[in-house]
Structure 1
């Protein structure tokens, strides 16, 4: 007969507590709401490294606007502009290092197989959904020069396969929320977050 000591009990209790905390952390991270604030700024307020990249943009860009963003914990910077009838967003870290480039597209423009994967996710996860905005997201992997990466994406001549960022209104358990979903290059979900009113306004462009 095996005798369970108090030490065994405490170890077992600690292990289960650890698993519970891990589960709670996972649930809180995936799908947590963030209150992002975006403020338009002058070029002189942009990080120096980011300024250098902005100066290298093609001369025919239109509507260039610079922003500082914060979610209460981290700061970042963003340059938004229009080029060849497409809307671009280039995001930078607080130090001015490029993080990703996003291009607004139509949901219908996504390659059929990937689009089907995304549609199946929404169908299986929510009772109703409506796509509001779709973007290709090209993540900088730091293996190449940042200017080369930027130029390649702007010329649509990059080897980097894009993720897809989709803002959608979804219904689940009779509750409607607006969420931002990130899918990988094959159309599988990576992450989503719930948008509050403040965040929703500025992510639409």
Structure 2
């Protein structure tokens, strides 16, 4: 009997850890150019030609800290993310649903309809993650907006599962297959005074 109680207690604790691991406690703060990692800043200065409205951000979540430079280039909105050492992690491009191939977008919609009672798409980003490819190739491909098999789609939604709406980040691969779902905190409005 005692073994059952111990087993049940351990099972409940493990389930609780798994459930909380899917939450993304992310906050993004605008920072000065001088607070951005020097190595990343040098990389940006070298690679970004004709970029406008460059803004710098520090992003902290439950796992890591990263830095982002957001800007407009060729009428498109980009976000270049670096780790704390200034190493390129990924490049994201803000897109619309029409920019995604029809079959991939229909798979994404099917997933969202099956897993949420209601949802509203707030933002879609096309990701070029640095992984198997080197940073130079990623930069070239992202700024040409190429549709390649390694890209990812990150969809930010306001969705309802059981009770109330919450904000989620849903990650899909280039074919529209589900990869990851993370619940995220609403945007930081600390700057608003009441």
Q: Greater CA radius of gyration, 1 or 2?
A: 1
Question: Which residue pairs with 2:178 in the alignment?
Answer: 189
TM-fit CA distance, 1:171: 1.9
Secondary structure of 1:96 counterpart: coil
Which of 68, 83, 88 is matched with 1:78 structurally? 68
- Which residues in structure 2 correspond to 1:43-58 (within 5 Å)? 44-58=34-48
Which of 28, 31, 48 is matched with 1:40 structurally? 31
CA-atom RMSD, angstroms?
Answer: 2.7
Secondary structure of 1:113 counterpart: helix
Give me the TM-score of the superposition, normalised by structure 1. 0.79
> Is 1:167 the counterpart of 2:156 in the alignment?
yes
Question: Which residue pairs with 1:93 in the alignment?
Answer: 83
Which of 106, 112, 121 is matched with 1:116 structurally? 106
1:64, 1:150 → 2: CA distance?
17
2:164, 2:80 → 1: CA distance?
33
Question: Which residue pairs with 2:130 in the alignment?
Answer: 140
TM-fit CA distance, 1:188: 2.4
- Which residues in structure 2 correspond to 1:57-72 (within 5 Å)? 57-71=47-61
Partners of 2:160 and 2:166 within 8 A in 1: yes
Return 5+ residue gaps in structure 1 as ranges. Answer: 1-5
Give me the TM-score of the superposition, normalised by structure 2. 0.83
TM-fit CA distance, 1:49: 2.0
Which of 146, 162, 187 is matched with 1:198 structurally? 187
For residues 20-68 of structure 1, what are the alpha-carbon distances to aligned partners after superposition, in whole Å with 9 as ceiling and x for unaligned? 44433222112x15141312221x3221221221012232111111112
Question: Which residue pairs with 1:3 in the alignment?
Answer: none
Question: Which residue pairs with 1:25 in the alignment?
Answer: 17
Partners of 2:54 and 2:72 within 8 A in 1: yes
User: Aligned in 2, Cα 1:125/1:159: closer, same or farther, shift over 3 Å?
Assistant: closer
